A = this chain, B = another copy of it.
């Protein structure tokens, strides 16, 4: 057997503890796990109680001591946040160490800088745990689907919001009440913005897009809408019409080719037909659908968060680095699939060009002919409608729900403007995507 592979951990929270626990208990796992040796662990406070029993001599409060330890071959960054995580990753690369990180925020914003530094140093930065928790999605995208022209990657990639949406659908509960519950159960943070505003999902879809299409995009420019404005009535109407509502993240190519390749990325609450593979993804589970040519459509499903699943993904990356070391004579040369550098420029397309189906709900006066007038406005702007249904008609007014066929955002906006100008329409109460 080859020499042991030294692992240095930056952070010993739930994920770091899960990783240490696997490394300390290699039995019944792949035998290569037994070749990994935990060398040093950087923590913030030496005296805090730990989820795993570690020899005190392994602990340090100095992350640099872990990175620079000559016995450490692979640095695992599970601190989270932008800094000092980004600097520590770059420091590890500069020291010639491969890096494994679960840090989607850093990779979504500084992935290009980090990948270029890793390529120059001939080391790997692996990120399986950054998207989809334990679900193998990064490695399959990099190593198993390269023969395809990828056309779209979409999915449910935030467990917190999916938990909230599942309970809203199952119990008819209001958003605020479920969020409060989720916070008490530990499924949502005290400050839930990163999850419920879609920022976490936007980080992740930006990462998936880079791997699927070979170039990075401007993370800050990804149109992102969360679920905090979602009303229970729309979940209810969607169910009645045969759809579930999911916070969907989408990355798709807008053309067969291009330099730069035009992409559409977005995060938005979206109606999903009940017989669609994503509709059955409930609770904190995640699922990612990859569509390509010639493969067609494949889906990856599983636990999107949690110490165990995330640790499984981190250890997978460490194993990949350990495995490839046995095939190579030394550092400096890397497997281009595993290293996954960018290979071409990509750019976000004009959002007006994005084509999809839409769900909209209008509040209207209960005037005769209102359905006809709304339908007419759509027709005049060439927005083809799949269904138009009136709900809750009363003296106070009614609600009209429209599901369109696929149209451009530009056409849709023009139609919505015209409809909101109709005297019998009091307002646009909801506007969601629809698969």
Question: Within the complex, which residue of B311, B326, B338 is in contact with A333, where a contact is CB–CB below 8 Å?
Answer: B326
A395 in the interface, Cβ–Cβ < 8 Å?
no
Tell me if A335 and B343 are in contact (CB < 8 A): no
Can you list 12 residue pairs at the A/B interface with Cβ under 8 Å?
A22-B147, A29-B147, A139-B143, A140-B144, A146-B315, A293-B308, A296-B306, A297-B302, A299-B302, A300-B300, A300-B301, A328-B333
What residues of chain B lie closer than 8 Å to A343, measured between beta carbons? 30-31
Q: Complex formed: what's the CA distance from A295 to B301 in Å?
A: 12
In the complex, whether A193 has a CB less than 8 A from a CB of chain B is no
A135 in the interface (beta carbon within 8 A): yes
CB distance from A91 to the nearest CB of B (A): 23
List the one stretch of A181-189, A231-239, A317-325, A414-422 in contact with chain B: A317-325
B31, B298, B318, B334: the one contacting A326 at CB < 8 Å is B334
The contact size tier of chain A is: 35 or more
Let me know if B323 and A338 touch, CB within 8 A: yes
User: Interface centre among A140, A280, A295, by most B CB within 10 Å?
Assistant: A295
> Would you call B335 and A324 a contact (CB within 8 A)?
yes
A149 contacts which of B21, B28, B309, B324 (Cβ < 8 Å)? B28
Q: Is A174 an interface residue (CB 8 A)?
A: no
Seen from chain A, the residues whose Cβ lies within 8 Å of a Cβ on chain B are 18, 21-22, 27-33, 128, 134-136, 139-140, 143-149, 214, 256-257, 275, 277, 280, 292-303, 306-309, 311-316, 318-320, 323-324, 326-329, 333-338, 343
Q: Which residues of B contact A326 (CB under 8 A)?
A: 333-336
Q: How far is the CB of A263 from chain B (nearest CB, A)?
A: 13
Q: How far is the CA of A300 from the CA of B289 in the complex (A)?
A: 10
Contact of A300 among B18, B298, B318, B334 (CB under 8 A): B298
> Which B residues are CB-close (under 8 A) to A337?
30, 32, 319-320, 323
Q: Within 8 Å CB of A292, what residues of B?
A: 312
Chain B residues within an 8 Å CB radius of A147: 22, 29-30, 33, 311-312, 314-316, 318-319
Alpha-carbon distance A22/B146, docked complex (angstroms) = 11
Partner of A29, one of B18, B149, B312: B149
Decide if B334 touches A327 in the complex (CB within 8 Å). yes
In angstroms, Cα B293 to Cα A306, docked, is: 12
Can you name 18 extra interface pairs (CB under 8 A) apart from A295-B302, A298-B302? Answer: A29-B147, A30-B146, A30-B337, A32-B336, A32-B337, A33-B146, A136-B136, A136-B140, A143-B323, A147-B311, A147-B312, A147-B314, A280-B280, A295-B309, A298-B300, A301-B301, A320-B337, A323-B337
* A309 CB contacts on chain B under 8 angstroms: 294-296
Residues of B within 8 A of A318 (CB): 147
Interface pairs A-B: 4 shortest CB-CB = A294-B308, A147-B315, A30-B146, A298-B302
Nearest B residue to A21 via CB reads: B294
With most chain B CB atoms within 10 A of its CB, the pick from A21, A146, A301 is A146
Complex contact A146–B29 (CB within 8 A) = yes
Q: How far is the CB of A435 from chain B (nearest CB, A)?
A: 15
- A18 cross-chain contacts in B, Cβ below 8 A: 294
**CB-based contact A277/B298 at 8 Å:** no
Question: Nearest chain-B residue to A253 (Cβ)?
Answer: B28
Task: Looking at the assembled complex, report how far the CB atom of A297 sits from the nearest CB atom of chain B, in whole angstroms.
Answer: 6
A143, B320: Cβ atoms under 8 Å?
Answer: yes
Query: Are A319 and B143 in contact, CB atoms less than 8 angstroms apart?
Result: yes
| B312 adjacent to A335 (CB under 8 Å) | no
Residue in B275, B316, B335 whose CB lies within 8 Å of A146? B316
Chain B residues contacting A296 (CB-CB under 8 Å) are 134, 302-303, 306, 308-309
Instruction: Tell me the bound Cα distance from A31 to B313 in angstroms.
Output: 26
CB distance from A42 to the nearest CB of B (A): 21
A139-B144 in contact (CB<8A): yes
Q: A303 near B295 (CB under 8 angstroms)?
A: yes
Q: Is the CB of B27 within 8 A of A257?
A: yes
Interchain CA distance A309-B323 in the complex, whole Å: 27
CB-CB under 8 A from A134, the residues of chain B are 294-296, 298
B312 touches A145 (CB 8 A): yes
State A21–B294 Cα separation when bound (angstroms). 10
A212 to B28, CA, bound (A): 10
